[in-house]
């Protein structure tokens, strides 16, 4: 019989990857709240919180955040740092 305990289920879950970034610093420099940045980017405030805590997000979400901060896509590394494994994302 399969073990259905909470610890058995969570051990199968893929751990979230952390990706340090400068989103919070840049947001605060512009005196924006998380809600304001989220509204400008067209994402939820929870998404902004997750990104600021270093959780990975989709490339399109990164683009929205970059543009909402008044930057250009070429500034991606200033906001999100180098991509893991050297990938362009």
Q: What is the pLDDT of residues 4-43, one digit of tens each?
A: 655 555 555 566 678 789 999 999 999 999 999 999 999 9
Going from the N-terminus, what domains does the chain have, and what CATH number goes with each? Answer: 18-77 (1.10.260.40)
Q: Is 42 left (phi over 0), alpha (psi -120 to 50) or beta?
A: left
The whole-chain average pLDDT of the chain stands at 85
41: CB partners within 8 A, 6+ apart = 48, 61, 64, 65, 67, 68
Q: What is the pTM of this model?
A: 0.74
Q: Which two tokens stand for residue 65?
A: 């955040």
Residue 20 near residue 81 (C-beta atoms within 8 A): yes
Confidence of residue 1 (pLDDT cuts 50, 70, 90): low
């Amino acid at each position: 019989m399969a073990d259905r305990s909470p610890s058995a289920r969570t051990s199968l879950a893929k751990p979230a990857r952390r990706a340090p970034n400068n989103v919070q610093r840049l947001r605060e420099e512009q005196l924006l709240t998380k809600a304001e940045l989220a509204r400008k980017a067209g994402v939820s405030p929870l998404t902004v919180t997750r990104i600021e805590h270093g959780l990975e997000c989709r490339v399109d979400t990164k683009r929205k955040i970059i543009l909402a901060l008044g930057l250009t896509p070429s500034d991606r590394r200033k906001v999100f740092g180098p991509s893991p494994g050297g990938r362009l994302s």
